[in-house]
Structure 1
Amino acid sequence: MKLKTSLLALPLATLLPMTAIANEDADRLTDLLEPLETYRADFEQQILDGGGERLQEAQGRMWLSRPGLFRWEVDAPYQQEVVSDGDEVYLYDPDLEQVTVQSLDRRVTHTPALLLSGSTSDLTESYDVSHREQDGHDVFTLTPRDADTLFEELSMAFDDDRLTMLDMTDSTGQRTAIEFSSIEVNADIDDSQFEFDIPDGADVIREDE
């Protein structure tokens, strides 16, 4: 009986250090994100297939103000805007003259950049967090605890406490890699940056209806 008890206790004993490390990694990510009130940057985005072949690339700029305010503008090769006013998210495609409107709920904030504008506590509660150092960067990998997400794994890279890269992998193995430059942290951003006026003549699709 004593032997059985000791064998049952062994897996628990080996799990405890891993749990402690996981908590430390989540705390470390929280320490980096909590001071982030606003963030502005240019970006280059690449979409890669499961074999690493480049499928698409884009450039643009982004602004966010926590909680919930966000603007993402793609210049090339196809223009696109994503704007969150804290209640709704507007996706505007100028080529199609179409605006898609969604409520700012948990599923919407599971997109890689939008989730940064949310609560840090919600982030660390919704994802398992692990940390590693790579090429002088602090890299955090987030794995969703909820199966109803748009990606299976998300990595954030920080350089001198500044977010410099996002890397998302979806269920098909496709990767979206976003590299930020010209970064400004906690600079003043006018609230009008997060307002969206639907252009005259644009088709509006409300996905909550």
Structure 2
Amino acid sequence: MRMMKTLALAGSMLLAPSLMVQTAHADQASADRLTHLLEPLKTYSADFEQQILDASGSSLQDTSGHMWLSRPGHFRWEVNEPYRQLVVSNGDEVSLYDPDLEQVTIQPLDDRVTHTPALLLSGSASELSQNYDVTRQQQGASETFTLVPRANDTLFEQLKLTFYSEQLGMLQMTDSTGQRTAIDFNDAESNVDIDPVKFEFQIPEGADVIREQSPAAP
């Protein structure tokens, strides 16, 4: 019996490197497939519905609006209901405007900011395999990619991107508290002309401005 246990243990040790190699190959294949879907996405425009749930599954907030992106680094996110909000990236800075508070927060478009889920879409698809562990599940024409950040300073612990017939249709995020954000995209258009003015933010007269520095800034 002891000899059988020893042989079984030795066999599992021999299998372990093979399984690790297979997993690594599968993860790389998933990252390559996601890159293949995102790389041709130069511009994207869609209506969205966003739902935020707490760890128990209770709804915390429902919002809707429209988003535009133009890669690399240009992004506009307009929340219309129930509370207006605007996020604009011009490739160098990200501006967050809250009309109710009449307040604008501006920060550099550094690595920390681009790890937020929405801005992640406007970045380089080829960097996904460097910064995230990627796995893939397919059901018919639906493909879901799960991204787990390798760094510890991101705003989410898991991100899921779902494509329907190779068209981005859903984004889901889970943070360290278990809070979940689900965003459904509707009436999406890919690689259409978007007016560059969409990605320029003009500070409203009378608004309070808060400028945040990059962590690397002096």
- TM-score in terms of structure 1 length: 0.95
Structure 2 residue ranges without an equivalent (≥5): 1-7
Query: 1:127 and 1:4 mapped to 2: Cα distance?
Result: 32
Query: 2:120 and 2:165 mapped to 1: Cα distance?
Result: 21
Amino acid across the alignment from 2:194:
I
Query: 1:35 and 1:136 mapped to 2: Cα distance?
Result: 19
Shift of 1:6: 7.1
Paired residues for 1:30-179 under 5 Å: 30-134=35-139, 136-179=141-184
Q: Deviations over 1:152-207 (max 9, x none)?
A: 00000001111000000000000000000010000000111100000000000001
Query: What is the RMSD of the two structures over their aligned residues, measured on CA atoms?
Result: 1.8
Runs of 4+ in 1 over 3 A off after TM superposition: 3-10
Shift of 1:110: 1.3
CA contact (8 A) 2:141 2:165 kept: no
Q: Deviations over 1:123-146 (max 9, x none)?
A: 221100000024741000000000
CA contact (8 A) 1:130 1:142 kept: yes
Query: 1:4 and 1:156 mapped to 2: Cα distance?
Result: 39
Q: Which has the larger radius of gyration?
A: 2
Query: 2:139 and 2:112 mapped to 1: Cα distance?
Result: 30
Specify the SS of the correspondent of 2:172.
Answer: strand
CA contact (8 A) 2:31 2:128 kept: no
Structure 1 residue ranges without an equivalent (≥5): none
- TM-score in terms of structure 2 length: 0.91
Query: 1:70 and 1:88 mapped to 2: Cα distance?
Result: 10
In structure 1, the residue matched to 2:192 is 187
In structure 1, the residue matched to 2:16 is 11
Aligned residues: 208
Q: Percentage identity across aligned positions?
A: 60
Specify the SS of the correspondent of 1:70.
Answer: strand
